[in-house]
Chain A
Amino acid sequence: GAVVSQHPSWVICKSGTSVKIECRSLDFQATTMFWYRQFPKQSLMLMATSNEGSKATYEQGVEKDKFLINHASLTLSTLTVTSAHPEDSSFYICSARSTGESSYEQYFGPGTRLTVT
């Protein structure tokens, strides 16, 4: 149980285009989902926290107009990188926390490798 999927697993896009990454909780309902960015051999940097039905909360320094997050249902959150540039190339990971305030465990997706050419 507690599986989180991400789609696509890797994507190449041209500079100036937008790309959408999906994060789904397959066998549980996720009140909260988190989006992280990771550069090679570095730690995970939290970009934003999304709660179902409300606006995402972005971490300091993350451009909310560039990284659009939509948590439309209890099983799906999307991250759209708008007007992508080569510096947006990175590994993006989502995680999901199940419903219930006492649920503290996060389940991670397998990640999406984005390359902007």
Chain B
Amino acid sequence: AQTVTQSQPEMSVQEAETVTLSCTYDTSENNYYLFWYKQPPSRQMILVIRQEAYKQQNATENRFSVNFQKAAKSFSLKISDSQLGDTAMYFCAFMNPINAGGTSYGKLTFGQGTILTVHP
């Protein structure tokens, strides 16, 4: 079974600064997907960024970028120019490839989450 570990229960950063959230995972699969989700106080889950394991290039979405180290099974999220609206709980998640003929239907395994607070 896959496991996802986020070792930082809480982080804080000053507005406009950069912060990195850590995530490690364990799997025997070669092909998979990794995600970072944001859950603000409204509790609506919002996709921040995704990475396909077969792609060597790190994914980037505006101020959000990842450092994907496949051999080390590490997937950290960097938030640049932090904004007050970035305050949320962040979850790292792992997904096996979808295999409708087998038992994988795109199930997500989440890490424990990191509460990020951006201070003005």
CA distance A74 to B100 in the complex (A): 16
CA distance A108 to B95 in the complex (A): 15
Partner of A32, one of B45, B106, B115: B106
Q: Does B56 contact A (CB under 8 A)?
A: no
| Contact A111 to B111, CB < 8 A, known contacts A104-B33, A105-B50 | no
Q: Contact size class for A?
A: 20 to 34
Q: How far is the CB of B106 from chain A (nearest CB, A)?
A: 5
CB within 8 Å of A: which of B72-109?
89, 91, 95, 97-100, 103, 105-109
What residues on B are CB-neighbors of A101 within 8 Å? 98-100
Tell me whether B43 and A111 are in contact (CB under 8 A): yes
Q: Contact size class for B?
A: 20 to 34
The proximity string for A residues 31-61 relative to B, scoring 1 for CB distances below 8 Å and 0 otherwise, is 0101000100111101001010000010000
Tell me whether B108 and A43 are in contact (CB under 8 A): no
Tell me whether A108 and B113 are in contact (CB under 8 A): no
Q: How far is the CB of B21 from chain A (nearest CB, A)?
A: 14
Partner of A43, one of B47, B50, B91, B100: B91
Q: Does A95 contact B (CB under 8 A)?
A: yes
What residues on A are CB-neighbors of B97 within 8 Å? 104
What residues on A are CB-neighbors of B100 within 8 Å? 101
Q: Does B110 contact A (CB under 8 A)?
A: yes
CA distance A104 to B105 in the complex (A): 9
Tell me whether B98 and A108 are in contact (CB under 8 A): no
Q: Does A21 contact B (CB under 8 A)?
A: no
Tell me whether A97 and B105 are in contact (CB under 8 A): yes
Q: Does B42 contact A (CB under 8 A)?
A: yes
Tell me whether B98 and A95 are in contact (CB under 8 A): no
CA distance A108 to B43 in the complex (A): 10
Tell me whether A49 and B105 are in contact (CB under 8 A): yes
Tell me whether B105 and A108 are in contact (CB under 8 A): no
Cross-chain pairs A/B with CB under 8 angstroms, 6 sampled: A34-B108, A43-B91, A43-B113, A44-B110, A57-B103, A111-B43
Q: Which 10 residue pairs across A and B have the least CB separation, nearest first?
A: A108-B45, A32-B105, A43-B110, A97-B106, A44-B110, A110-B44, A111-B43, A43-B113, A43-B112, A101-B98
